[in-house]
A = this chain, B = another copy of it.
Amino acid sequence: MPESPFWTQDSLEDLVSARSKIMGAGVWAAARPDDRPVISFAGGLPDVPSLPDEELLRATRAVLDTERREALQYGGTFGPQPLREAIAERSSGIEGIPLTAEHVTVTSGAAHGIGIACEALIDPGDTVLVESPTFPGSLRTFVSFGAQIEALPMDDEGLLVDPAEEALKRLADEGRRVKLLYLIPTHQNPVGSTLPLARRDQLLELARDHRVLLMEDDAYGELWFGDEPPPPSLFSLSGGELAIKVASFSKIIATGLRLGWNLAPPTLITRMAALRYDMGSSPYLGRTVAEMIRNGDLDRHVERLRAIYRRKLDRLCEAIDEHCGDYVTYQRPGGGFFVWLGLHQGLSAIEVQRVANEKGVLIGAGPHFFADGNATQHLRLAFSYTPVEEIEEGVHRLGEALREVAASSAVK
């Protein structure tokens, strides 16, 4: 046995793939709890007390009683058939178009769903259009496949169509191949905006004309708080033809399952399933969740979650108005996990984040969410994970941080 490792990070450089060279040795670890008595608005994590452990255990018992053999054996790379069928039936109701299992592939969560779409679509040098700001985890995946990223501007209602069209024309003129337009049309992360119906239709026209797929990240779509659901998905509006809708059980059951689904045209579902090397997502887990859909537990749970998150958002907005109103503007989101604060002129997001952190409140700083990494005057508050009784105190501390930073900015 040699004294020092044979394969060091340096000597490995000689052995690893181009993709590994892009990604290096930085590993995404789940956040560890902070030892201090902090209040966190940092991560887009679900509410903990309501995690449906009893429903999971009940469904697991039912599956092991009645589908033991199938649940404990291979299920194929399309995904466990009963879950595909349960998703298709449930989605037909949500989407308002008739869907079958052929439109569904089961994934190991939305991040995996985005990844397998990239495996099927992206070659190094291809271009991916994204909203700016957007979810940085997805950017990381696109970049790992060697994609060139083009950021598109948004307004309060979401992606702007004209600049998207101009970008598509310009990139075509430059001879660049655009494969995907990635967007989070409903309860956008980090902004919270929901794209109006008219813009959705315009985007679909663009996608058809330019033969570009829309990748619609819908991790938060079911968590709406108003009297009416948000507009239909891009997938639904195109009759299931022009978009991949990436969805997940992470935010409506638990992130720790690692289970989700993609809706897409059957031809594309097949291409994604064909190159999976993992022999498919877990039939054991998949059949458990199919049971939760069939027995009604999932729909009842989603109803409960809407009320829980609506109440947290109410509390957050009241507290912002009371403690931060002099320093920020914001737009109340119709659903999802996030409120996006615009800081008044002269306040630095990074500086506010630092001072708030010292006061024991964790928040997301805007620059993190921009593909170009440019500093911006924004903060993201995730209200989903924070216990409802801590929200007011957390925002109170943020208000103090804003006051301090404003005072020291005024002095300078």
Contacts and interface: CB of A to CB of B under 8 A. Distances in A.
Given A25-B274, A114-B277, A274-B27, A73 B108 contact: no
A211 interface: yes
Nearest to A254: B72
A122 B256 contact: no
A10 to B, nearest CB: 9
Interface in A223-240: 238-239
| Interface-centre pick from A60, A72, A140, A268 (highest chain B CB count, 10 A) | A72
| Interface-centre pick from A61, A78, A267 (highest chain B CB count, 10 A) | A267
Nearest to A14: B211
A111 B277 contact: yes
Interface stretch (A183-191, A278-286, A303-311, A353-361): A278-286
Given A15-B179, A267-B5, A279 B57 contact: no
A154 interface: no
A26 interface: yes
A269 to B, nearest CB: 9
A71 interface: yes
Nearest to A107: B278
A122 B8 CA distance: 18
A53 B64 contact: yes
Interface residues of A, number: 92
A74 B278 contact: no
Contacts of A115: 277-278
B267 A76 contact: no
Interface stretch (A16-24, A366-374, A394-402): A16-24
A94 interface: no
A410 interface: no
A327 to B, nearest CB: 32
A256 B60 contact: no
A29 interface: yes
B270 A25 contact: yes
A242 interface: yes
A292 to B, nearest CB: 13
Contacts of A216: none
Closest 4 CB pairs of A and B: A115-B277, A1-B239, A112-B278, A72-B254
Given A25-B267, A51-B68, 19 more contacts: A1-B241, A2-B241, A5-B265, A5-B267, A6-B242, A8-B267, A14-B211, A17-B122, A19-B120, A27-B274, A30-B76, A57-B64, A70-B256, A73-B256, A108-B281, A111-B278, A118-B277, A255-B279, A285-B285
